[in-house]
Amino acid sequence: MLEYDCRADKLTSYPIEKQIRKNETVKHLYYFLWSFDNLAPDYSLRLDGKELHRLSPGERGTLLLVFYLLVDKSDRSIIVDQPEKNFR
């Protein structure tokens, strides 16, 4: 669809070379459209919009347990103990 003008009822051929700047090439256009250079992944764990370092110890444990269960695909049992006191 890059080579046709779709604004009219009838498709009109419009070569890509005529659509880009004079000092650019079609190869540069394709690289810009389909390369991953403009993507920058950003990973963070959040619970109700709060980042991990802002959570209470209980919220942090819950979030990390859920994350672990989502990532781990094994069928091993997990035993979770809730201590009566929170030691840091």
Extract the tokens encoding 39.
């993507």
Residues contacting residue 46 through CB under 8 Å, at least 6 positions apart: 52, 63
pLDDT in tens, the chain (88 residues): 778 887 877 788 888 888 889 899 999 988 988 898 878 888 888 999 999 999 998 899 889 888 988 898 888 888 877 766 665 5
Whole-prediction pTM: 0.46
